[in-house]
Chains A and B, each alone.
Chain A
Amino acid sequence: MADLRCVIAGIESINPFWLASAPPTDKQYNVERAFAAGWGGVVWKTLGVDPPVVNVSSRYGVHKDTGRGILGINNIELISDRPLDVNLREIEQVRKNWPDRIIIGSMMAPVEEELWKELAIKIAGSGVHGIELNLGCPHGMCERGMGSAIGQVPELVENTTRWVREVVDIPVFTKLTPNTTDILLPAEAALKGGAHAVALINTVNSIIGVDLDVMAPTPVVDGKGTHGGYCGSAVKPIALHMVAEIARAVETRDLDISAIGGITTWRDAAEFIALGANALQVCTAVMLYGFKIIEDLNEGLSDFMDAKGYKSIEDFRGLATKNTVNWNDLNMNYDLKAVIDKDKCIECGLCHIVCEDTSHQAITIKPTETGREFTVVDADCVGCNLCAHVCPVPDCITMEPVDNGLPYQTWPEISPISGEVRGE
């Protein structure tokens, strides 16, 4: 068993898996169930200035494939709708009951220095290990000048972070919204404001679907719908990119990162760590399966680390960051060809039709005595991988590099006009 302990913003956790600030961390009952199941920490559901908000009935919509698979959830729930004091007393109690687990207090307030400071002090007083600034919710709260309305303006990110830093002596996490053009701008602002870590991503602004009978966006609230926050597997690629950008930019790479966004499996977790995340937050996956998935997250990550010889999270953290480059740094001479293992092929024809209809017409189909045979035309194959992705048989189509003897050459090294190599 590999050592799954991790450190983020100076906080040591028994494992890198925390529950994100969301419905699963709304109250003591849920949080203690999560700790009993094995979660390393929680970010308590966002607390605001009293009086508490009121939530609507019908709060979640889902994006499904044509089967049972839920690709993502969209929610229109606001922050905690319970009085601040009730939440703080519960936090105190859970801290006593579970001394080895991490609790981070999430908060948001209107953009007024006093309000932020007062709230931060109160939350810190409950004994939390750190405070997370929710600058991300893209629905509801932003209409009241909070959430993403703050996160989308770097100066406000910097100010709110600084205000909290000035009044508490525990680590401060600034949670970023992905609903912005360049994630580095708010990340840099957080750093300037004194954040110990950034947490990202919050949900993606979205309309998840339309009820074609009611003719309104889902979830439908009495005949009307609104945009909400999209999360789950579907947003993982967006989160990976934003984490990688912060981890590799000179200006922000020293920030600790609490990665959030569709983490469902141990592999997802390993990918975020490989791109530089110090710790992880999970929400949608437990909303789909319950807290028990922590068992496979822990064990799967540990087994992966054992198999690769990584003794601790730090052993492989950020290893993929250095290989995350700009397009202009890719090797233009690298040449891949699809290879079909004809013994494994079940003759479904998907590789052929996707290549024929949508790509490079590089897979031929030929009738045989017993069925049909699919063959890659090397001259036409550009190594795009599409056939390998749609093939339903594991390892039937592999992408093999061609040894063409050519050097690593980037596009800027090749004259875009003559095609000749610069300097030769």
Chain B
Amino acid sequence: MGEHLQASLTGGALSKDAIDANFEDLHPPLNAQQVNSWANRCLFCYDAPCITACPTAIDIPRFIRQIATDNITGAAKTILSANIMGGTCARACPTEILCEQQCVLNTGEHEPIEIGALQRYAVDYLMDTTNTHPFVRGPKTGKTIAVIGAGPAGLACAHELARLGHDVVVFEAKAKAGGLNEYGLAAYKMAGDYAAKETKFITDIGGITVKAGKSLGDDFSLSDLRDKYDAVFIGIGLTKMRKLGIAGEALAGVSNALDFIETIRQTSDLSTLDPGRDIVVIGGGNTAIDAAVQAKRLGAKNVTLAYRRGLAQMGETKWEQDLAATNGVMIKHWANPVEIIGENSVKSVRFEQINLQDGKLCGTGDYFHICADRVYKALGQTLVTDELTALKVENGKLKVGSDGLTSVAGIYAGGDCIAPGEDLTVQAVADGKTAAIAIDKMLAIDKMLES
């Protein structure tokens, strides 16, 4: 079971079996009995707060009632018609700050409905039992839209466009589609190669061509696509890793947490990876937690997550912090890295103790070292704007209207690369779908004007 950390029985390296167990589903799927019990606990609230809390506005009481009435396929259709990535969201969404936080049963019963787990059950059931795609494409429009980036935003946009009868070509820089679902989420959240399975399911609707290994700048330009296609959707995410800007950053053993996660996600036999001995993860978001917990589950002896600020300012949820703690990750707050020390390869990280004075982070002059043979940086990513000079950028992200339209007609964007927006899969799906509907509307108006 993935729920509990498998520790070394000998004090030495973890066995292959232990590592495999550590990377199984963090939350094993509910069984039919659990599902019936949970589904019947739902009150079927009117105008339910959980729906409002979901960026894709899944009709949660409806799908839970469908589960309770033994219409599991219907439940899955309810979920997927609002959010085609309902399967990934059920696994990776921080439901504790979204739908489940808003569940009215938090008041009084102090325990919300397990919405994410129920959602997973329904979507898995449909994907495992149905051969025909649950959605049918609308009449062909003869239009083709280019989508840049096959992450959650791009795939959700492509799916909705295909459903509305358009053809779509998706350009993906990496070798596989899926974006962070495929490369950036912790392995135990996406067990069973789920990202690839879901990508196939999404594109199986038809009309979607994914061109992998094609990147903006190297293989095509934005203006190429704008000229050649009826509309363009940009869902390229944030790909430039932030740097620490301190001495020693180039030492061997220092890398980006996302690259570490990508390595785990793309390695079939995890026991072949050297877990390292003393790991320092620098950062305070969910990527930092994902890296730290996976390092521990891979068998690293000591994993320290160092963050410049305090508990309250950390980007990850309380649930994620608890996950790190129960997996034996030491969380060090108010620690500002000032130097990475080593010869050729990293030996330790030197930190200055920080405190908060009048709302400002101030060094205290108190320094300490943490031993490290691996340092993973999880400082966040920024937008690579080199190929997007035609578009307006605001606070480092693409500026778009509420329908996803950028500053240039016919070019839309969504997902992590737009402002404002939360860097969540579910938000990216919502953005992609919103933009698709806007593109469809725009093309319909164009057609009307032409005739």
Binding site for B on A (CB under 8 A): 65-68, 344, 346-350, 352-353, 365, 371, 392-393
User: In the bound complex, how far is the Cα of B43 from the Cα of A346, in angstroms?
Assistant: 11
User: In the bound complex, how far is the Cα of B40 from the Cα of A273, in angstroms?
Assistant: 33
Q: Is the CB of A346 within 8 A of B46?
A: no
Closest to B44 in A: A350
- Given A67-B36, A68-B36, A371-B49, also A348-B68 (CB < 8 A): no
Going nearest first, the 3 A-B pairs with the smallest beta carbon separation are A349-B46, A67-B40, A353-B46
Residues in chain B near residue A371, CB distance under 8 A: 49
User: In the bound complex, how far is the Cα of B70 from the Cα of A365, in angstroms?
Assistant: 32
Q: Is the CB of B45 within 8 A of A350?
A: yes
Residues in chain A near residue B48, CB distance under 8 A: 348-349
User: In the bound complex, how far is the Cα of B102 from the Cα of A346, in angstroms?
Assistant: 11
**Chain A binding surface, main DSSP class:** loop
- Please name 16 further chain A to chain B contacts, defined as beta carbons within 8 Å, in addition to the given A66-B39, A350-B44, A365-B47, sorted by A numbering: A65-B40, A66-B36, A66-B40, A67-B36, A67-B37, A67-B40, A67-B68, A68-B37, A344-B108, A346-B104, A346-B107, A350-B45, A353-B46, A353-B47, A371-B49, A393-B108
Flag B375-413 by CB within 8 Å of A: 1 or 0 each.
Answer: 000000000000000000000000000000000000000
Min CB distance, B66 to chain A, in Å? Answer: 10
User: In the bound complex, how far is the Cα of B104 from the Cα of A65, in angstroms?
Assistant: 22
Residues in chain A near residue B47, CB distance under 8 A: 349, 353, 365
Min CB distance, A210 to chain B, in Å? Answer: 15
* Complex partner residue of A350 from B36, B37, B43, B108, CB under 8 angstroms: B43
Closest to A391 in B: B43
Q: Is the CB of A348 within 8 A of B104?
A: yes
Residues in chain A near residue B107, CB distance under 8 A: 346-347
Q: Is the CB of B108 within 8 A of A346?
A: yes
Residues in chain A near residue B69, CB distance under 8 A: 66
In this complex, the member of A67, A68, A344 whose beta carbon has the largest number of chain B beta carbons within 10 angstroms is A67
Q: Is the CB of A392 within 8 A of B43?
A: yes
User: In the bound complex, how far is the Cα of B46 from the Cα of A314, in angstroms?
Assistant: 47
* Complex partner residue of B45 from A66, A348, A393, CB under 8 angstroms: A348
User: In the bound complex, how far is the Cα of B113 from the Cα of A346, in angstroms?
Assistant: 14
Min CB distance, A373 to chain B, in Å? Answer: 13
Min CB distance, B355 to chain A, in Å? Answer: 33
Residues in chain A near residue B105, CB distance under 8 A: 346
Q: Is the CB of A349 within 8 A of B68?
A: no
Residues in chain A near residue B108, CB distance under 8 A: 344, 346, 393
Residues in chain B near residue A347, CB distance under 8 A: 45, 49, 104, 107
User: In the bound complex, how far is the Cα of B48 from the Cα of A344, in angstroms?
Assistant: 18
Q: Is the CB of A349 within 8 A of B37?
A: no
Q: Is the CB of A350 within 8 A of B46?
A: yes
Q: Quick one: which of B54-77 are within 8 Å of A by CB? A: 68-70
Closest to B38 in A: A67
Min CB distance, A392 to chain B, in Å? Answer: 6
User: In the bound complex, how far is the Cα of B47 from the Cα of A289, in angstroms?
Assistant: 38
In this complex, the member of A65, A350, A352, A365 whose beta carbon has the largest number of chain B beta carbons within 10 angstroms is A350
Closest to A374 in B: B46
Residues in chain B near residue A350, CB distance under 8 A: 43-46
Residues in chain B near residue A66, CB distance under 8 A: 36, 39-40, 68-70
Residues in chain A near residue B45, CB distance under 8 A: 347-350
Residues in chain B near residue A353, CB distance under 8 A: 46-47
Min CB distance, A352 to chain B, in Å? Answer: 6
Closest to A344 in B: B108
Residues in chain B near residue A349, CB distance under 8 A: 45-48
Q: Is the CB of B40 within 8 A of A348?
A: no
Closest to B69 in A: A66
19 A-B residue pairings within 8 Å (CB atoms): A65-B40, A66-B36, A66-B39, A66-B40, A67-B36, A67-B68, A68-B36, A68-B40, A346-B108, A347-B45, A347-B104, A348-B43, A348-B104, A349-B47, A350-B43, A350-B44, A350-B46, A353-B46, A365-B47
- Given A346-B105, A346-B108, also A352-B46 (CB < 8 A): yes
User: In the bound complex, how far is the Cα of B51 from the Cα of A349, in angstroms?
Assistant: 13
Q: Quick one: which of B1-56 are within 8 Å of A by CB? A: 36-37, 39-40, 43-49
Closest to A394 in B: B108
Closest to A357 in B: B46
Residues in chain B near residue A68, CB distance under 8 A: 36-37, 40
Closest to A390 in B: B43
Residues in chain A near residue B68, CB distance under 8 A: 66-67
Residues in chain A near residue B70, CB distance under 8 A: 66
Closest to B106 in A: A346
User: In the bound complex, how far is the Cα of B167 from the Cα of A9, in angstroms?
Assistant: 84
Residues in chain B near residue A348, CB distance under 8 A: 43, 45-46, 48, 104
Min CB distance, A218 to chain B, in Å? Answer: 15
Closest to A356 in B: B46
Closest to A67 in B: B40
User: In the bound complex, how far is the Cα of B39 from the Cα of A68, in angstroms?
Assistant: 11
Residues in chain B near residue A365, CB distance under 8 A: 47
Residues in chain A near residue B104, CB distance under 8 A: 346-348
Residues in chain A near residue B39, CB distance under 8 A: 66-67
Residues in chain A near residue B40, CB distance under 8 A: 65-68
User: In the bound complex, how far is the Cα of B69 from the Cα of A283, in angstroms?
Assistant: 28
User: In the bound complex, how far is the Cα of B432 from the Cα of A272, in angstroms?
Assistant: 62
Residues in chain B near residue A67, CB distance under 8 A: 36-37, 39-40, 68
Min CB distance, A395 to chain B, in Å? Answer: 12
User: In the bound complex, how far is the Cα of B38 from the Cα of A68, in angstroms?
Assistant: 11
User: In the bound complex, how far is the Cα of B107 from the Cα of A393, in angstroms?
Assistant: 10
Min CB distance, A101 to chain B, in Å? Answer: 39
Residues in chain A near residue B36, CB distance under 8 A: 66-68
User: In the bound complex, how far is the Cα of B39 from the Cα of A422, in angstroms?
Assistant: 55
Min CB distance, A345 to chain B, in Å? Answer: 8
Closest to B105 in A: A346
User: In the bound complex, how far is the Cα of B153 from the Cα of A187, in angstroms?
Assistant: 73
Residues in chain B near residue A344, CB distance under 8 A: 108
Residues in chain B near residue A392, CB distance under 8 A: 43
Min CB distance, B155 to chain A, in Å? Answer: 34
Q: Quick one: which of B87-120 are within 8 Å of A by CB? A: 104-105, 107-108
In this complex, the member of B37, B47, B70 whose beta carbon has the largest number of chain A beta carbons within 10 angstroms is B47
Min CB distance, B420 to chain A, in Å? Answer: 22
Closest to A353 in B: B46
User: In the bound complex, how far is the Cα of B39 from the Cα of A393, in angstroms?
Assistant: 18
User: In the bound complex, how far is the Cα of B37 from the Cα of A350, in angstroms?
Assistant: 20
Min CB distance, A93 to chain B, in Å? Answer: 42
User: In the bound complex, how far is the Cα of B48 from the Cα of A40, in angstroms?
Assistant: 50
Min CB distance, B172 to chain A, in Å? Answer: 42
User: In the bound complex, how far is the Cα of B112 from the Cα of A346, in angstroms?
Assistant: 12
User: In the bound complex, how far is the Cα of B103 from the Cα of A32, in angstroms?
Assistant: 49
